[in-house]
Amino acid sequence: MSSSKKLSKSRGFTVVELVVGITIGSVLFLAFMVAMTNYFVLITKNNAAIDMAANSQNLLRATVEALRVGDGVRQTNTIADANAPSGGWNTSNTSFVIVIATPALNSARNYIIDPGTGSPFMNELVYYKSDTSLMERRLANSGASGNLLVTSCPASSSSSSCPPDKVLADYVQSMTFTLYDQDNNLTADPTLARLIKIDLSLQRTVFGSAVSLNNSIQVTLRNRF
């Protein structure tokens, strides 16, 4: 009987042992959860930075291409836009607006030539900032028969005949254009610009922290129609 009683007493855990075991387990589990949370936050921030880097590169490449094949930058839009702000679109860094003249193309991707001038008809692309998005308003030259481009509208007033403006990039803090003339001097006159420096700044908030990205590029204007 005495050996049986001793064996019975050796089975199980005491209350103190259970409390200590549960406490240690809770601390280890909490440390594991903190490590996993920090890892998830870090991965999410890294992915956000990678996405912004890719978006900024795509935006800058598209902008450079539009400027290189086009007829440069215009101070104001010359094609009527019923949805333009009061006073029309005006190229301005403070308003984050630029007006780019680009040749009208037909379905075969050929220039549509104005018989009166012998030069291509020009469409206009307006880049403008709306909240944290950079948008593109497309203004088609109505005189260009077979024009592939279709004039766009704000999403709130878009229709089948007037598609919504294109979102070029999200999380845009600023996109500024510095203009240089043929002598590489700063100029405020878009018609004199021969080189343009584009500075793009993106920023988004991830888990309460700001993730920022700055990118820039220069483009030399090649065409003057």
For the beta sheet containing 133-139, the strands, ordered from the edge strand earlier in sequence to the opposite edge, are 73-74, 97-103, 122-130, 133-139, 166-169
**166-169 and 133-139 as β-strands: parallel, antiparallel, unpaired?**
antiparallel
Residue carrying structure tokens 């403006």:
165
177-193 confidence digits (pLDDT tens):
899 998 999 998 888 88
How far apart (Å, rounded) are the C-alpha atoms in residues 89 and 170?
21
pLDDT, one tens digit per residue, over 3-36 is: 555 545 556 678 777 777 788 888 887 877 877 8
Strands ordered across the beta sheet of 195-206: 172-180, 195-206, 209-220
What 8-state DSSP symbol labels residue 152? -
pLDDT at position 30 is: 83
pLDDT for res 224? 65
Residue 22's pLDDT is 83
State residue 130's pLDDT score: 92
Q: pTM of the entire structure? A: 0.78
Query: In 10 A of CB 32, how many CB atoms?
Result: 10
Alpha-carbon gap, residue 204 to 212, rounded angstroms: 7
Residue 104 in contact with residue 147, Cβ under 8 Å? yes
What is the pLDDT at residue 225?
63
Output the pLDDT for position 223: 66
As a whole number, the mean pLDDT across the chain is 88
Res 20: pLDDT: 78
Residues of the chain short of pLDDT 70, as ranges, are 1-12, 223-225
Residue 186 DSSP label? B
Give one DSSP letter per residue of 57-103, joined into a string. HHHHHHHHHHHHHTT-EESB--S--TTSPTT--B-BTTTTEEEEEEE
* C-beta separation of 150 from 140 below 8 A: yes
Pairing of strands 133-139, 122-130: antiparallel
Q: What is the pLDDT of residue 159?
A: 95
| Residues contacting 98, CB < 8 A, separation 6+ | 73, 91, 126, 127, 177
